[in-house]
Each structure stands twice: as structure tokens, then as C-alpha cells.
A and B are shown apart, each in its own frame.
Chain A
């Protein structure tokens, strides 16, 4: 057992060191406060140890010999010590909480800010839920450590040493009780409690799976509904829940054993002090006051021990959390700005691909050498089978990913030479899945230009022809959107996404199946508006509907990661290739049944 303890202590020592070194920058900014906090902590310890001592003096030299003056003197000193204790405890607590909260706040801020810097690849790999956990659960584990343990390391060790010292000082023989109490206490506190914490960690894991399952059930509830899968889901949930429950049933007996042993030991040591004290009193070796003081000390030993053990366990838990937190903080964004990136520029709208190769995973090349030139003012359409890489191409234009090979040139300069934020500020994207946030219609549109006035938003909507649609909503532009826009139709969501993109007045506009859900009349209207606004600017359109792409200046047909055909609508029709085979599907004359 003792080996185990040593091992555990050593491990947590090492982790503690590592952990502290990473947390150091956060703590350092508060080092003044920490020093003051420790000062108050020590004052508190001193007072706590002094009090039983004073009471003993009062009993032995005041009450027992009936010396009222002495009793009053001691009482005054006790009152002063109590006041000191009160204030130092109070300031220690306040400082500790303040420092802890500031550290938590800074970690949350740094995490969030760092996450905002990370690129698409990170979010492809990591689930929202997992990233959320870093910022919530892991930070909370740190919170527990900081709120309960910041002062422990030093203070509680001193407290234990102080109590033992006081006991030895008061009476050496009666201190023999310690030989019985201490080893048992160490065993219970360090042995049993680390088991408890380990079990608790298992429970935490089960609880996360219960919650993860819950979360997804809630988001996918409509699908569950339409497949009448409620009963099976309920069963699955009950399984998760049961597994968690069974874990807790292994856990709380440990907890019960822990408290049982503590209570037994506590009371038993009182009994021992009485017996030992009685024997010593009989021989006139101690006074009654000393016995009374011992009674207090023996029970006081327990609390700091427990706090230290708690702290050690919490450290190892916090270590795991810190590791995960710092893993996120250490994550390097793979889209980085070069040092001398252009900050002040105005895009002309020329976009060229030079033999661009790209893959998400090395085994699966998606683009195998794409080259094209799009001139400012052109409308470029990209068509191809689903999964052929159309969205991927426009992702590269937005620089959500960097090419694996080749180059994307924006106005004859490599895209990687531009400052990312400014570059994106001059471009706009309407993505395949419209994303609506909770907040009003106005909030959703002005999302792309924070601080845009109501009038600006309204004028964009008027130009796009969707002003009437919005004023038709129950509260017009102020209509609150449900979660993910649950209270409007999909086409309406897409139109809001359009307005959001156009509000930016972009030099390069990317429409990734942005009108897939729009009806033809609305689409024609939006297109007409666009062609006016986008005069002299570059537009990339991905679409499957002929009516959406036929007016494009150039149409690129993507096939197997290469551009198979390109040209205007008329040229491609003449070629009678893949493009034509797509068109035929749209045409009544080529219906498969009339073939």
C-alpha cells in the first residue's frame, strides 16, 4: 500500500510540476495576490493552532486555580486571536476566489480566441461536443482545483506540522496517541480516497456518454420521429443510463466506507486521549486543560489531511483536463498568414488555378491538377457529379484549406500572400447548407457586417427582392429565429443567407448550390439582382439547374478530379459531352421513357 502511495504521490508530483509550468503564465500575472493570500493563510493557520492552546491555558491556569484575572487576560487574547483569524480567513478566501476566477476567465478566453483561429481541418476532425467539453467540463475541473486547492499545498502541510508540534509541545507522552492515529489516517485518506476518485472518474465518463447520446437525440429528433424509432432510442438510453447507474452503485459504498472509517477513527482517538489522559493525570503528569486541548487537536488533524489528499487527487484529474486544454491551445492553425502578408489591398477579382492538387486524406486525391483563369467581372460555373469536388474548389478560393500542390492566384499573386481576414472581408460565400443563428432576421443578415444599420440591411433585401417576404414574417426584420432557423422554410433560410452575403458587397462571390432550394421565380429574381450588383466582380456558381448556369461566361465540368470540359453553354452543347448528358436529363425530349 505504502508503495502505491509513494508511486501516486510521485506521479502527481511530476504531473503537478508539468501542469504548473503550463499554468504558470496565468498564475504569474497574479503572483502578488498569491503572496498576500499565503500570508493570510498562514495567519489563519497560526490562529487555528493557537486557540486550543489558549483554552488549555485558561482552564489550567485560570479556571482550575480560580484565577479570574488570568482567565480574563486569556479571554481577551482569545478574542483578539479570533478576530485575527476571522479577517485573515476572510481575506485569504476572497483573494483565492478572485485569483482562481481570473485564471478561469483567462483560460476560457484564450481557448475561445484560439479556437477562432483554427481552420476547417480542425473542425472536420473534432466534434462540436468535444470542443465544448474543453471549455466547460475541463475548465470546471480546473475550477474545483483552484477554488479548493490553491492554498492547500503549503497551508495544510504547515497546519499538520503545527498541530503535531503543538501536541508534542504540550505533552510528549500523550502524543503517543499520534502513533495510533496518524498511520491509520494516512491509510484511509490516501488509500481509500484515491480509489474513490478513480471510481468517480469512471462515473464521469459514463455520464458524458449519457449526455452525448442525449444531445444528439435532441438534434435529430425529427428523423427519429419519421422512422418511429422512439422506443429503440429509449431502450438505448436506458442502457447508457443503467451502465452509469451501476457504476455509481460501485462508487458510493466506497464513499460510505471512507466516512465510516473517518468517524470511527475520530471517535476512537478521543477515547484513546481520555484513557491516556486519565493514566497521566493519575500520575500527575498532565493537567485537565492539556487533555481538553488534545481532544481538540486530535479531531483537527483530520481536515488538513483530507484536503491534501483531495488536492493530490484533484491535481491528477486537473492534469488530465489541462492536457486536453493545452492540446487545443497547442493546435496550430494550418491556414497561417505569412509574416509580410498584404494588409492593404483591393481585390480586382481575377482568380487563377495553376495545376492545383488537393486531398483531405492522402489516400483520396480529390483534385488532380486543376487549372483555369477567371477574369474580373466573369461569372464562372462549376458543374459535375455529386462528390466530384465542386465545393472543394470553392473552399480553396476562400482559403479554408491550402492546396496540396500547385497554386491559387488571386490577381496574379499567390492567395497565401494576402492577409486572411482582409481577403475574406472582400469575398462572400453562400454555402450549401444555410446556417441560421438564433437572433432576429436583422441579426442574421448583419452577421456578415457587424454594425450594419437597419437601413443598409433593408436596402440589400430590397435589391434582392426579399423585402416583402421578410416584412411578411410575424415581426418583420425583428422576428426571432428559432434554433437553426426552425421557424422558417428552407428556401427562406437560403434567401437570408443570400442577403447576408450581399450585404458585404464582395469582390468575389461564391454561390455553392445557393439556390438549390429556391423556386425558379425567386431564383430568376435573385439572379437578375445579382447580375446587376456583381457587374465587374467575379462570381463562382455551383449549381445543377440549367437555368442557373446557362448564362455563365465559362462553365467548367469537373470529372474525376480534373476539368473535363470548359467553355460557354453553347460551346459545351456543341461538344455533346458530359455537360450535354447532364442537360439531357433536364429536357422533356430526352426523357428516358420517350427514349
Chain B
């Protein structure tokens, strides 16, 4: 329990006064609740007799009212206690949730390459909920279990130590049984969480890939996979509920046996005159009180240990180093666009370099294309420029200043990137285009759209820019999605534009139109284009030919045609019939 409190001490500190208040209310409340059995004992032992004998009923009313008043006090105290605990729990959890989100927004690309959305989501939902419950009633219950059982023991010992001992002899046994159960319960609940997570992942993957599933008609295979997860969850659920079904009657039985013991042994004592009837009835009330800690003990033990696991998983993320830590840079000048790579080596895993010892420089305002086979490292190379990843060796200079010295935000805001895989958010088309600049005017949005050749299409839609785009852009054709992503980058009005194969799904005419727009737009700004089509590559001043992470050549189109095998071969394949076509069409024109 203290481990959790310590882990999140930073978060609970602002609310510690309320937390203290909650605990105080709880202690006082429990003490007032012992008053009731004392009063009942007093009533049955003394008052009833006195009333019968003297007929004076005033004292009866006094005792009765005292019980009622103590009830009101207890009620009020419990009110403040609940409110305070819940206030603390919701506030702490709100702050943790914000911190987690902030952290996740800033965690590096290497974290996300390995992370599982399902796993992250479960930390952010199930685990957070456990922490909430821990603060809302986990602490309260834990404290009360100790407090109530100890005070009741003292009171009972004080009133009749023999009977108290007989009753309490059961407790260690009961306690052991409960601990045994709660250990099992905790494991079972954990497994249930895991199986539920498993089922969710299976489901998520099936639903995101449902079109492929249908295309290959492998629904029955998917059903089998789901059936397995479903079965596992069923077993896990059943294990938890069966444990509960075993435990609850046991707890009930404990209370019953306690009462029975009091009836027999207490009755025996009363008959022999060593105890009053009132004490006996008072004892029965104590048994009722002590049932509460017994009932919650198992639940509480498993809650606290589950919350411990949850706090560990949450903390794991909170303590990760994120991009802000490496964001020591302060340079926030306007980028001119001169890029230098000096012996840059990079790999996702340390032992497998993807880029090897790259050295080249790009002049400001130059258009450079990247060309290479699949997997040669083009996308990896450009991901170093906005510092999604950092090179493991070597240095990248922008305007002669090492990249790490640039402020991350300034850097990224001036670099417009269109990633190879288009991702659209489920918002309107207008909001998607304005993603990087939410304050952009409709005018600006339209302009960016028109540059990306998508304005005509959007305006034909019934809701225009307000058209809601489905999940990852469903309802749009591949090319329409790509052009929205291009518009999104253009709206940034970037100093450096990076286009990663982002016209691959466009017909040549649309592509050419966009390129013409870009040509004027990017005048004087550095542009990096990755492409497989020669016609696109030709737009660049110079072309980098990348081969298995190394630069094979860096030259103009014309020179590459002369000296680079791969480039030449590609050119020939793509242009093989160009001559004949030109001839044909020329002959037709004439």
C-alpha cells in the first residue's frame, strides 16, 4: 500500500489536507459506531429493567435519542469521508492521466515502434481505474480493517475476556483462509485482465483488417482464433467468480458461527451468572460490526496488490525519457535549408545498421530526390531530419548548426512532412488539413487544398470542408487521402518539405499538376522527395541513390543515367517505349 502512496506522492501532495480530513472522519466515525452497541448493552442490561421497575421512561428516551443522534453524527461523518476520499482519488487520477498523456505525446518514435496500442490503452484505462479505486476506497478499507478489528477486540476483551478470546480464536484461522483466497483471487483477476486484453487485441486486429479477412474468406479461421480468446476469457471469468462464490458463503458462515459461539458459550455464562444478557446482545452487535472488515478483507487485499501492479505499469511509462529531455536545443531561427550529413550511422537495433556512414550536403533551396530499392533506408534517412530518431553515430547539421541544438518545436514546425503511409484523423476534411495549424482560416485551407489538387473534389461533396472523414479516411479513395495529407503539409508553409513517396497513388496527370504547384511554392526552399517514378525524380536538381544504407551516387539525372547502373536500368524499364511513343504521336501530329 505504501509503495503506491510513495509512487504517486507527487500527485497526491496537493490534496493531502483533504486526504488527512478523510482519514480523520473515518477514525471518528468508526469510534462512534462502537457507541451504539455500548448503548444497546446499557439499554438491555439497565434501562429495560429500570423502566420495568420504576416505570420512569425518561431514561429510555435519552438512550434511544443518543443512539439516533450517534446515527446522525455517523451519517454526516461518513458523508465527508466519502466525499473527501473520492475527491482525492478523482483528482489524483486526473493529474496522473494528464501526465501520462503528456508523456505519451512526447515519447519517441522508437517507443512507438515497439509499443502495442492495446497494451497502452489498458494501462490508461484499466490500470488508472485500479489506482482510482485504491484512493477512493482501497486505503479507507485497509485502515478500517486494522482499526475495527483491533478496537473491537479491545472492547470485547474489556467486557468479557473469556468470551472475547473464544470468539477471536476463530479469527486467525479465518484470516488465513481469507489471505489464501485473496492471493488466489488476485491471481485470477490478473489473469482475467490479461485474457480480456488478449480478447481486445484479437478483436482490434480482426476489425482493422476486416477487409482483408473478407477478401481472403478466412472468416472461419478468425472465428477459431476468437473462439480461443473467448474461451480463455470465459475460463478466467469463471475462475474469478467461482472463487467469489466460494469465499462469500465462507464469510457469511464465519459471522454465523461467531453468533452461535456467543449464543452457546455466552448463554452458558449468563446462565451461570458470570455475564449479563445485555453483554451477550452487545457481543452479537460486535459480531455484526466485525463482519464488515472480514467481508472486505479479501477484496481489499486483491485490490491493493492489483493496484500495486498497475502503479508499476503506469510508472514505467512516466519515468521513460522522452523527446523533451533531448530537446535541450534553443535555436529557433527561420530555417534557411542547408543540410549536412557527416558520417551518419543509424540503426533501429544497435547491431543492425540501416544507414551506414552517410556524408553529403544539400544546399539551401535545393531539390533533392532519394532513390533506392525497397528497404534501402530512404524513409529511415528522412526520419532523422525532424529528429524522429537520432543517429547512433555522426552528426547532422542544419544551417551549420547541429540538429540537437535546434528547438524541436521550431524545427518541426518549419519542416512539412508527408509520410509514406497516409493517416487521417476522424475529423472533418477541413480539420484534417488544418491539423498542424488549427488556427488557419478557411481561405488558407482552401488554398492548400487547391495546391494539392483536391479542392475540386472537396467542393463537390455535400458538406464540403465540413465532411466528416471516417476512421483513417474510409470513404475516400487512396489518391484522395494522399492529397489531403499533402494539403496538410503545405498549409504549414514549411521551410523544408519532405515528401515520402506521397504521389505513388496519384495518376500521372494529377501528380504533374501538384508538382507544378510545388515547383513555384518551393522556390528557394529545400525539398526532399522520395519516389520510384523517374518522371518524379527528374524534378529534383540532384538525386541520391541509396543502396543498402549507403550512398551509391549523388548527382543530377543526366549524370546518373551515364554512370549509375540501377538508375539507368530503372530508367530504361520505365521509359522503354518512350521513343516509339514520341515518334508515334509526333507522326500523328504532323
Do residues A211 and B124 form an inter-chain contact, with CB atoms below 8 A? yes
Give complex CA distance A296, B575 in Å. 95
Give which listed residue, A210, A428, A585, contacts B509 with CB less than 8 A: A585
B17 at the interface (CB under 8 A from A): no
List CB contacts (< 8 Å) of B343-393 with chain A.
Answer: 348-349, 352, 372-375, 379, 386, 388
Do residues B507 and A385 form an inter-chain contact, with CB atoms below 8 A? yes
Do residues A260 and B419 form an inter-chain contact, with CB atoms below 8 A? no
- Shortest Cβ distance from residue B56 to the other chain A in the assembled complex, whole angstroms: 10
Do residues B420 and A252 form an inter-chain contact, with CB atoms below 8 A? no
Do residues B121 and A71 form an inter-chain contact, with CB atoms below 8 A? no
B43 at the interface (CB under 8 A from A): yes
Do residues A259 and B78 form an inter-chain contact, with CB atoms below 8 A? yes
A51 at the interface (CB under 8 A from B): yes
Give complex CA distance A587, B538 in Å. 10
Do residues A386 and B72 form an inter-chain contact, with CB atoms below 8 A? no
- Shortest Cβ distance from residue B193 to the other chain A in the assembled complex, whole angstroms: 13
Give complex CA distance A116, B52 in Å. 78
Which residues does chain A contribute within 8 Å of B168, judged by CB atoms?
Answer: none
B213 at the interface (CB under 8 A from A): yes
Which residues does chain B contribute within 8 Å of A447, judged by CB atoms?
Answer: 212, 216, 218
Give which listed residue, B75, B98, B205, B532, contacts A517 with CB less than 8 A: B532
CB nearest to B515 among chain A residues: A592
Give which listed residue, A217, A420, A546, A592, contacts B105 with CB less than 8 A: A217
Which among A100, A112, A217, A516 has the highest number of chain B CB atoms within 10 Å?
A112
- Shortest Cβ distance from residue B361 to the other chain A in the assembled complex, whole angstroms: 23
A98 at the interface (CB under 8 A from B): yes
CB nearest to B420 among chain A residues: A490
Do residues A225 and B71 form an inter-chain contact, with CB atoms below 8 A? no
Give complex CA distance A266, B252 in Å. 20
Which residues does chain A contribute within 8 Å of B260, judged by CB atoms?
Answer: 75, 78-79, 82
B582 at the interface (CB under 8 A from A): yes
Given the known interface contacts A89-B248, A234-B101, the answer about A278 and B47 at a Cβ–Cβ threshold of 8 Å is yes
List CB contacts (< 8 Å) of A372-428 with chain B.
Answer: 383-387, 391, 398, 400, 420-422, 424-425, 428
CB nearest to A512 among chain B residues: B478
- Shortest Cβ distance from residue B79 to the other chain A in the assembled complex, whole angstroms: 4
Which residues does chain B contribute within 8 Å of A51, judged by CB atoms?
Answer: 256, 259
Do residues B68 and A433 form an inter-chain contact, with CB atoms below 8 A? no
A288 at the interface (CB under 8 A from B): yes
Do residues B112 and A90 form an inter-chain contact, with CB atoms below 8 A? no
With an 8 Å Cβ cutoff, the count of chain B residues facing the other chain is 182
Which residues does chain A contribute within 8 Å of B288, judged by CB atoms?
Answer: 296, 299
A229 at the interface (CB under 8 A from B): yes
- Shortest Cβ distance from residue B274 to the other chain A in the assembled complex, whole angstroms: 13
Which residues does chain B contribute within 8 Å of A292, judged by CB atoms?
Answer: 44, 281, 284
Give which listed residue, A75, A275, A431, contacts B211 with CB less than 8 A: A431
- Shortest Cβ distance from residue B135 to the other chain A in the assembled complex, whole angstroms: 12
Do residues B117 and A218 form an inter-chain contact, with CB atoms below 8 A? yes
A349 at the interface (CB under 8 A from B): no
Give complex CA distance A519, B101 in Å. 39
Which residues does chain B contribute within 8 Å of A282, judged by CB atoms?
Answer: 48, 51-52, 55, 57, 60
Task: Type the 1/0 row for B471-505, where 1 means its CB is closer than 8 Å to any CB of A.
Answer: 11011011110110000100010000000010011
Do residues A222 and B114 form an inter-chain contact, with CB atoms below 8 A? no
Given the known interface contacts A97-B241, A127-B426, A438-B205, the answer about A259 and B105 at a Cβ–Cβ threshold of 8 Å is no
- Shortest Cβ distance from residue A448 to the other chain B in the assembled complex, whole angstroms: 4
Do residues A241 and B94 form an inter-chain contact, with CB atoms below 8 A? yes
Give complex CA distance A387, B473 in Å. 14
Which residues does chain A contribute within 8 Å of B51, judged by CB atoms?
Answer: 278-279, 281-282
Give complex CA distance A584, B584 in Å. 12
Give complex CA distance A132, B74 in Å. 44
A74 at the interface (CB under 8 A from B): yes
Give complex CA distance A486, B247 in Å. 46
**Interface-lining segment among B5-13, B147-155, B183-191, B226-234:** B226-234
- Shortest Cβ distance from residue A80 to the other chain B in the assembled complex, whole angstroms: 11
CB nearest to B488 among chain A residues: A227
Which among A211, A233, A274, A519 has the highest number of chain B CB atoms within 10 Å?
A274
B328 at the interface (CB under 8 A from A): no
Given the known interface contacts A62-B267, A98-B238, A252-B87, the answer about A582 and B507 at a Cβ–Cβ threshold of 8 Å is yes
CB nearest to B387 among chain A residues: A225
Given the known interface contacts A86-B253, A128-B207, A211-B124, the answer about A544 and B507 at a Cβ–Cβ threshold of 8 Å is yes
Which residues does chain B contribute within 8 Å of A513, judged by CB atoms?
Answer: 478, 504-505
- Shortest Cβ distance from residue A55 to the other chain B in the assembled complex, whole angstroms: 6
A183 at the interface (CB under 8 A from B): no
Give which listed residue, A210, A448, A483, A576, contacts B117 with CB less than 8 A: A483
Do residues A214 and B124 form an inter-chain contact, with CB atoms below 8 A? yes
Give which listed residue, B82, B112, B121, B270, contacts A221 with CB less than 8 A: B112
Do residues A267 and B57 form an inter-chain contact, with CB atoms below 8 A? no
CB nearest to B217 among chain A residues: A424
Which residues does chain B contribute within 8 Å of A115, judged by CB atoms?
Answer: 207, 210
Do residues B48 and A288 form an inter-chain contact, with CB atoms below 8 A? yes
Which residues does chain B contribute within 8 Å of A119, judged by CB atoms?
Answer: 214
Which residues does chain A contribute within 8 Å of B256, judged by CB atoms?
Answer: 51, 78, 82, 85-86
Give complex CA distance A71, B413 in Å. 86
Give complex CA distance A391, B470 in Å. 18
- Shortest Cβ distance from residue A407 to the other chain B in the assembled complex, whole angstroms: 21
B577 at the interface (CB under 8 A from A): yes
A586 at the interface (CB under 8 A from B): yes
Which residues does chain B contribute within 8 Å of A546, judged by CB atoms?
Answer: 574, 577
Do residues A71 and B63 form an inter-chain contact, with CB atoms below 8 A? no
B564 at the interface (CB under 8 A from A): no
- Shortest Cβ distance from residue A470 to the other chain B in the assembled complex, whole angstroms: 11
A369 at the interface (CB under 8 A from B): no
CB nearest to B205 among chain A residues: A437
Do residues B475 and A437 form an inter-chain contact, with CB atoms below 8 A? no
List CB contacts (< 8 Å) of A258-300 with chain B.
Answer: 259-261, 263-268, 270-272, 274-275, 277-279, 281-282, 284, 288, 291-292, 295-296, 299
Given the known interface contacts A132-B204, A222-B109, the answer about A112 and B230 at a Cβ–Cβ threshold of 8 Å is yes
Which residues does chain A contribute within 8 Å of B36, judged by CB atoms?
Answer: 267, 270
Do residues A275 and B125 form an inter-chain contact, with CB atoms below 8 A? no
**Interface-lining segment among A21-29, A103-111, A320-328:** A103-111
Do residues B372 and A214 form an inter-chain contact, with CB atoms below 8 A? no
B516 at the interface (CB under 8 A from A): yes
Do residues B43 and A448 form an inter-chain contact, with CB atoms below 8 A? no
Do residues A431 and B245 form an inter-chain contact, with CB atoms below 8 A? no
**Interface-lining segment among A167-175, A242-250, A339-347:** A242-250
Do residues A522 and B419 form an inter-chain contact, with CB atoms below 8 A? no
Given the known interface contacts A75-B264, A281-B52, the answer about A518 and B532 at a Cβ–Cβ threshold of 8 Å is yes
CB nearest to B245 among chain A residues: A93
Give which listed residue, A211, A221, A486, A576, contacts B588 with CB less than 8 A: A576
A238 at the interface (CB under 8 A from B): yes
Task: Type the 1/0 row for A542-557, where 1 means its CB is closer than 8 Å to any CB of B.
Answer: 0011110010000000
**Interface-lining segment among B158-166, B298-306, B396-404, B565-573:** B565-573
CB nearest to A270 among chain B residues: B67
Which residues does chain A contribute within 8 Å of B125, judged by CB atoms?
Answer: 211
- Shortest Cβ distance from residue B213 to the other chain A in the assembled complex, whole angstroms: 7
Question: 15 interchain pairs (CB within 8 A)?
Answer: A59-B267, A59-B277, A78-B260, A93-B248, A97-B241, A98-B241, A216-B426, A252-B83, A256-B82, A263-B78, A431-B211, A482-B114, A520-B573, A550-B577, A580-B585
- Interchain residue pairs A-B with the least CB separation, the first 3: A267-B71, A386-B479, A491-B374
Beyond A116-B213, A428-B215, 4 extra complex contacts between A and B, CB < 8 Å = A96-B245, A264-B72, A278-B51, A545-B574
